[in-house]
Amino acid sequence: MQMPGAVVGLLWLVQVSLLWSRVGCSFNSEEQLEGLLATETFLIDELRDYIERLDQQLEEIRRETAAIAEIHSQVGDHVEEYMGNPLNVLTILKRFQTVWPRLEQQANATHNISVSDDRDQNMDLILPTEEDYEEALSNLLHLQSVYELEPASLSLGVVNGMKLGSAMSWSDCLEMAVKSDVGVAKFWLETALDKLPPAANATDHQSEWERGKVQILEATLSMEYRAGELSEALDTVEELLLLRPMNQNVQKAKAKIERALAKTSTKLPSGRGQKTKTKNPKSAEQRLIEELCRGATQKATTGGRFTHCQLERSTPWSILQPVRVELLSSDPHIALSHDVLTLKQSDQLVGMMDEEETRKGASHQPLKVSMLAQKKLRSIHHQLGHVSGEKDHWEGRRHGHEHTTKPEEPVRWQCHQTRVMLNLQAPGMGGAVVFPQLELGVNVPRGALLHWRTRTSSASASVSEMDYRSRQAVCPVLLGAQVSAWTGLC
């Protein structure tokens, strides 16, 4: 193993001094002995300084490792629950981007440890990519947009007054600002400034504060200039010059802004400003869906007008077990049947589903439902009195924080008269089913079944048509994951 350069130099000095001592001691002079003692004193002081530097580096490595180990101990066996938090996902990916490379560098500088030794060659390590981190940022920005989450609260790990756990660093907030629209980016930049370590006497904190302040000001300057806010950009560049007075790029940026201001005080620079105001304008329907999602997140109940117990005698199932039905809409008919499954039955069905590949940006992840699960789910039709008509196979769906909100388009060639959604695993927050045309949002409890008509039932029409009012979407999941089973009735 190659030794650090400082240690090699010190050992060379020791060898030279020992060789010199063998020659010089033959003269047995007091002056030469004092010189040897002075050399040893110098070597001892150098080694003590080196050991002190090693101790400082090792202490920092121990501190970082202990902090990460503490997080792992808190997670324990609840890995799925922990990774269902989008803030936790962003934090663990960020550690692979910043913390672990820094620890590796410190370890190499301290002990010259190679990461590609024989032990690591036999291990199949999973490492994230830059694309994974970018996707996690995009997912969090999507959730923030839909639920209008405040950057200051979200950076502390607080959503709708609930502490989710993970807090964000100033660099996390800065990256959120870079990926955001101009209106939202300003709040993220302010939050990043608030999260900078205090510029106290400590040299390392002073260095991080100055480095972070410069990066935040540079991002602010770029955003303001592209948006055509030249006066604000001039104030920012002057503040940046106080920290980097000799930086030529900052000086050129100031001169460029001053020339633009001199040309006109009212007209924005050509080709700038208006294009960055909105990236992808949302449709009226999408804005309504997001409003319904926010409203449903604040309510623990579905908001149905009335609930009744339905006891039919058409089948043995309905005689033995009445169903508590909550009518949400009469036209089109939308109802929620409570307590269709017990918690144990829901867990069993979730265990009978396997994940399938899904493309990025999809509204849900498809799940393969086993034949045994299909058999168990068919009994629900009898339980609810749906004994006539054709029935589709059940399909499984998983909705998480990484999925987008898209209204489901009805398939015109299918004969579905009714769509059914059975919730097997409820999320910690979010995941409501919304009907934008009816301005209705439904939080489907675990073990409950939501069913709605998808076609018009007009007596004058010879052939039923798709009812546009029954178009629905599933809101993004803020915490955890929602697992459900879907089918259609003809």
pLDDT (tens digit per residue) in 290-325: 999 988 876 554 444 444 445 444 444 444 455 678
Q: What are the contacts of 357-363 at 24+ separation with CB within 8 A?
A: 360/135, 361/404, 362/403, 362/404, 363/399, 363/403, 363/404, 363/405, 363/406, 363/408, 363/473, 363/474
**What is the rounded CA–CA span in Å between residue 82 and residue 204?**
32
pLDDT bracket for residue 447 (50, 70, 90): very high
pLDDT digits (tens, 9 = 90+) for 67-114: 888 888 888 888 888 888 888 888 888 888 888 888 777 777 665 444
Q: Give yes or no for a contact between 324 and 336, defined as CB atoms under 8 angstroms apart.
A: no
DSSP 245: T
Q: Which SS3 state, helix, strand or coil, does residue 357 take?
A: coil
Average pLDDT value for the chain = 78
Burial of residue 59 (number of CB atoms within 10 Å: 0-12, 13-18, 19+): exposed
**pTM > 0.85:** no
pLDDT band at 199 (very low <50, low <70, confident <90, very high): low
Strand partners, 452: 334, 419
Distances (CA, A) of 214 to 184, 197, 219, 448: 20, 13, 9, 53
Confidence of residue 203 (pLDDT cuts 50, 70, 90): low
Helix (H, G, I), strand (E, B) or coil at 12: helix
Average pLDDT over residues 112-123: 46
- pLDDT beyond 50 at 414: yes
Beta bridge partners of residue 420, listed in sequence order: 451, 487
Length of the chain: 490
DSSP characters over 160-218: TTEE-S----HHHHHHHHHHS-HHHHHHHHHHHHHTSPP--S-HHHHHHHHHHHHHHHH
> pLDDT tens-digit profile of 184-193?
899 999 999 9
Of the two residues 455 and 29, the one the predictor is more confident about is 455
Long-range contacts at 319-323 (CB < 8 A, ≥ 24 apart): 321/383, 323/383, 323/384
SS3 425: strand
Other C-beta atoms closer than 10 Å to the C-beta of 167 total: 15
Mean pLDDT of 416-439: 90
Strand pairing report for 429-430 and 477-479: antiparallel
pLDDT digits (tens, 9 = 90+) for 145-171: 889 888 988 888 888 777 776 788 898
Question: Is residue 118 packed enough to be buried (19+ CB in 10 Å), middle (13-18) or exposed (0-12)?
Answer: exposed
The whole-number pLDDT of residue 441 equals: 92
**Residue 383 pLDDT class (50, 70, 90 cuts):** low
Query: SS3 for 487?
Result: strand
Distance CA 391, CA 258 (A): 71
Query: Between the CA of residue 53 and those of 58, 59, 109, 110, 371, what are the distances in Å?
Result: 9, 10, 11, 9, 64
